[in-house]
Amino acid sequence: MTSSNSLRGKVALITGAGRAGGIGASIAEKLATLGCRVVLTDIAETGMGLGDKKELETRCAEIMNALESIPNAEAGSVSSAICDVTQEDSVAETCAEIYRTHERLDIVINNAGIGFLMASLMDVSLEDWDRVLNVNLRGPFLLTKHAAPLMIRNGQGGRIINIASQAAKSGFPHASSYVSSKHGLIGLTRVSAIELGEHGITVNAVCPNHITTGLGSWQNSYFSDLLGQSEEAYLAAMRERIPLGRPGKVTDIASMCGFLCQDEAGYITGEAINVSGGEEMH
């Protein structure tokens, strides 16, 4: 994948970017190194899988420190905002404030997601079902709805990238709400690509396989217990079924997002791109 200066000065909004070692933070750093002004958002609420305000501010500081040694990055190119992607008022105000501050919004990465509410299909509560669907599907819908008009106002096109999952292509036990939300996200990606294409806005989904972030570590423990295996045996079996021999890394996803945001990827839209080391091939 080639790199260029096509992202210099563009503004990128990344949701769910407050967790240490998370996909969102890695994407933010990647886009910042490519010259973007990035705005990290999270819900600012403590709890499993959620980034609080202090974590969000810490991620910004870490990225700014990393940028000091990267000549392509612009000074002051990282900031943060609190955004609850399940609430339309919060999403609308976040997008509007970014536009007021930067006078443009070019890129949205819908990364915020919930993947820790696991239960068998017959044991899933309606509350948990709704919570997962609200974050994983309603959130990207709301961000697309409110960001697209701002991109259109710019008149320079834009990029919307939805972080889906291998679960957007295949089913997994004890993950009915998660799998359903990610399959739905592919549908949203395709419709958005069709409707926004005339404005030069591309919309794609990136589908990682398992990545051992903080949330991924919790999933390792859950599924190894479910299968009656040690976590070591569970991970060994995972490596064996992946042609490239390892689970994904956050940087794998960040690199794909960086490519999709650049001019070289301007003719790619409506796609659900696997980044899975060959584990998922459809």
pLDDT in tens, 87-134: 999 999 999 999 999 999 999 999 999 988 889 999 999 999 999 999
Strand partners, 82: 42
pLDDT at position 20 is: 87
Give the per-residue pLDDT at 2. 44
Is residue 3 over pLDDT 60?
no
114 and 207 part of one domain: yes
Q: How many domains does the chain have?
A: 2
Mean confidence (pLDDT) of the chain: 91
Say whether both 142 and 234 belong to one domain: no
C-alpha to C-alpha distance for 273 and 209, rounded to whole angstroms = 11
How do residues 71-85 score in pLDDT, each as one tens digit? 655 544 899 999 999
Q: Using one digit for the tens of pLDDT, what is the confidence trace for 26-58?
A: 999 999 999 999 999 998 655 544 556 788 889
In whole angstroms, what is the distance from residue 57 CA to residue 36 CA? 18
pLDDT at res. 185 = 98
Q: CA-to-CA distance for 90 and 45, rounded, in angstroms?
A: 14
CA distances from 270 to 7, 113, 168, 191, 281 (A): 21, 20, 14, 8, 17
Helix (H) or strand (E) holding 191: helix 176-196
pLDDT recorded at residue 224: 84
pLDDT given at position 121: 96
Residue 176, SS3 per DSSP? helix
**Could you tell me if 132 and 217 lie in one domain?**
no
Residues 181, 225, single domain; the answer is no
Residues 66 and 113 occupy one common structural domain: yes
How confident is the model over 206-255, as pLDDT tens digits? 999 988 765 567 677 877 888 888 888 888 989 999 999 999 999 999 99
pLDDT digits (tens, 9 = 90+) for 181-211: 999 999 999 999 999 999 999 999 999 998 8
- Domain encompassing residue 217: 212-247
In a 3-state reduction of DSSP, which class is residue 254? helix
For β-strands 11-14 and 272-275, DSSP reports them as unpaired
Q: Is residue 3 part of a domain?
A: no
Phi/psi of residue 271, nearest 5 degrees: -95, 150
Query: 194: number of CA atoms within 13 Å, CB side?
Result: 5
Residue-wise pLDDT tens digits, 126-162: 999 999 999 999 999 999 999 999 999 999 999 999 9
- The answer to whether residues 26 and 150 belong to one domain is yes
In a domain? residue 131: yes
Task: Decide if 282 is inside a domain.
Answer: no
Chain position carrying tokens 């998660």: 178
Known active-site residue 178: yes
Is 223 found in the same domain as 118? no
| Residue 222 belongs to a domain | yes
For residue 59, give every residue at least 6 positions away whose Cβ sits within 8 Å of its Cβ, in sequence order, or none.
Answer: 17, 18, 19, 20, 25, 28, 40, 51, 80
What is residue 159's three-state secondary structure?
strand
Q: Are residues 160 and 228 in the same domain?
A: no
Per the residue annotation, which of 178, 222, 234, 267 is the catalytic one? 178
Q: Would you say residue 2 lies in a domain?
A: no
Q: Within a domain: residue 110?
A: yes
pLDDT at 77: 84
Q: State the Cα–Cα distance between residues 72 and 276, nearest whole angstrom.
A: 29
Question: Where residue 1 falls among pLDDT bands split at 50, 70, 90?
Answer: very low
